Amino acid sequence: MTARARLEQLKQQFGTSILRADLPSDTRLFVHVEPSAVKPICRHIFRDFDARYVISIGIDDRPFSGTFLVAHDFAFDKEHLLCSVLTQLSPENPKIDSISDVIPAASWAEREMRDLVGIEPVGHPYPKRLVLPDGWPDGLHPLRKDVSWDHVPKDFDEDREFKFDDPPEGCTVVPFGPFHPTLDEPAHFRLYVEGEMVRGCEYRGFMVHRGIEKLAESVMSYNDIPMLAERICGICGCVHSVTYAQSVESAVAIHPPARAEYIRTIMLELERLHSHLLWVGLACHIVGFDTLFMQSFRIREPIMWIAEKISGNRKTYSMCLIGGVRSDIAPETKAELRAVLDKLENEWRPVVAAVSKDRNIQKRTRDVGVADKKLVKERGLVGPVARAAGVDIDCRRDHPYAAYDRLEFDVITEQGSDVWSRVLVRAKEVFESIRIIRQCLEKMEDGPIQLEIKDELPAGRLGLSSVEAPRGESHHFVITGENNRPRRWRVRAPTYQNLQAVPAMIKDQQIADMTISLGSIDPCFSCTDRLETIDLRSGKVRVWSQDELLALTRKKA
């Protein structure tokens, strides 16, 4: 069904509640609606149209339209369509009906919108602070336009503590994090344990929100932001760089040269390769199979070398610009890349065969961390987590970008919905990435790698972009702006959705399976510069500020 046909269905159902609609292309639909109609329209799209929920965005648009905006983004995967439902809210008291009771996947996004923009989701089933630090003053919302990007609140309360929920009766609280030997980054899972079984969980993350979106709209330019986007994630840097660039390109209707699209595709698949090889190794390490951990890292290393040869860096490639890429791939590098892929394929086949037959790995991962199709739908789960539950979604095929519409590949799915199925999905996807890169090297035509952009990009345009990261769909929403930078840029990484399912995945399973269940979504948290200490004698909790930590590091004694 086309975007226009979907729009006509909405008009028939909701009539004058739809104020206007923009169809900039066959694959993008922006529907502007009355505030009172947002919830029933979103319910209809999610339930009756069976669209996939992506993210909700709060926007302080007062300097431009005099209002606040809310956007709820959905994906019609079989129709290659991304849809955004938008509404305007009062500048004095921005409130909107929460959709989280009918679309549970929207829970975090609405809480974040409340924290950072000050838009109240009325009727939210769990209206608790999500992103802001514990001591951040109430009523101060950092993504509002009248709050400076470097604002430090004077009334920050260092002694204020986050109020966790009470544990269920008969359960003991076991903290998993914020610093834990198996967590590379900080996150706090407050486990409610009965004996050896987990009966519930409360999550407290966002230990340091780095303000990347605020920096982008305040002090950076369009072509500075791809470098910033690469720092969002330690593994999926190229993914975020490409997703951002494509969201701007979508908004202003520009198309990179074909050669640039092939180069983007190659770099994205190299990133998928080294990410999947890393994850399989770490998963084996978590369950005690360190031999395969070391083999995975050995096989992975040539991928890092060839990425550095192409871009100058093993990881943050700095390749992407609006309208193209910075660096070309030389003929001799293409030959070397082919040789690396051949070696990788030959070495990875016996690894997959060994893992597939290993009974010890299967015992530790089968029927563990289950996320079935219902949970995938309700929580908006993406990537290998969804595909391991038999949900056949992949942005490379469903919302083609870069050169993927000119390539052939299979979307790997499994049916077990557990950690074991996620192992198999990632292990097999390595071969598909090799296949994709080989096709790119064969089909990549000569020509420019950058589009010459002579005019200033128009302001007030909406852009959406989804890219299949190794962990799942990364989605970027952008409103173009003045001063050579966007008015609003919203990033939704795949872990943002997948983390919301962890409490359900670990419920009623052994506490020993917590680590591999969490690891199976390949979580990506942020780095931290604040910590919490507990005095074992008095039981007093103290949160250390950045300044205090800095002073401690410089103290000689």
User: What is the chain's pLDDT, residue by residue, as a tens digit (557 residues)?
Assistant: 899 999 999 999 999 999 999 999 999 999 999 999 999 999 999 999 999 999 999 999 999 999 999 999 999 999 999 999 999 999 999 999 999 999 999 999 999 999 999 999 999 999 999 988 888 999 999 999 999 988 889 888 888 888 888 999 999 999 887 766 556 667 788 999 999 999 999 998 887 667 889 999 999 999 999 999 998 887 888 999 999 999 999 999 999 999 999 999 999 999 999 999 999 888 888 888 888 889 999 999 999 999 999 998 888 888 999 999 999 999 999 999 999 999 999 999 998 998 888 888 899 899 999 999 999 999 999 999 999 999 999 999 999 999 999 999 999 999 999 999 999 999 999 999 999 999 999 999 999 999 999 899 999 999 999 999 999 999 999 999 999 999 999 999 999 999 999 999 999 999 989 888 988 888 876 432 323 444 545 656 565 565 665 676 566 54
SS3 197: strand
List C-alpha distances in Å: 406 to 25, 239, 266, 359, 480: 19, 19, 13, 40, 29
Q: Which fold has domain 212-519?
A: Cytochrome-c3 Hydrogenase; chain B (1.10.645)
| DSSP class per residue in 126-194 | S----SS-TTPPTT--TTSTTS-TT---TT--TT----PPPPPTT-EEEEE-SS-TT-SS--EEEEEEE
pTM: predicted TM-score of the whole model, two decimal places: 0.91
Do the Cβ atoms of 516 and 419 come closer than 8 Å?
Answer: yes
**Measured on CA atoms in the order 125, 368, 388, 527, is the torsion positive or negative?**
positive
Q: Identify the CA nearest to 403 among candidates 442, 429, 457.
A: 442
For residues 348 and 299, give the distance between their C-alpha atoms in angstroms, rounded to a whole number: 8
For residues 489 and 492, give the distance between their C-alpha atoms in angstroms, rounded to a whole number: 10
Q: Name the token pair of 262.
A: 């092939």
Cis peptide before 178 (omega within 30 of 0): yes
Q: Where in the chain is the domain with CATH 1.10.645.10?
A: 212-519
Token pair 């430090």: residue? 152
Q: Name the token pair of 411.
A: 């979307």
Structure letter (DSSP) for residue 545: P
Number of H helices, E strands in the chain: 19, 17
Q: What share of the chain is helix, strand, coil (3-state, %, to 5)?
A: 40, 20, 40
Strands 81-89 and 28-33 come out as parallel
List C-alpha distances in Å: 102 to 10, 97, 371: 18, 11, 19
**Dihedral of the alpha carbons of 205, 206, 207, 210, in degrees to the nearest 10:** 170
Supply the angle between the helices 419-443 and 331-357 in degrees, to the nearest 10.
160
Do the Cβ atoms of 393 and 413 come closer than 8 Å?
Answer: no
Task: Provide the β-strand partners of residue 88.
Answer: 69
List C-alpha distances in Å: 148 to 15, 135, 531: 41, 19, 25
Q: Identify the CA nearest to 62 among candidates 541, 532, 442, 487.
A: 487
For residues 523 and 234, give the distance between their C-alpha atoms in angstroms, rounded to a whole number: 11
Do the Cβ atoms of 233 and 466 come closer than 8 Å?
Answer: no
Do the Cβ atoms of 515 and 279 come closer than 8 Å?
Answer: no
Regarding the domain with residue range 3-163, which homologous superfamily does it belong to in the CATH classification? Answer: NADH:ubiquinone oxidoreductase Nqo5 subunit (3.30.460.80)
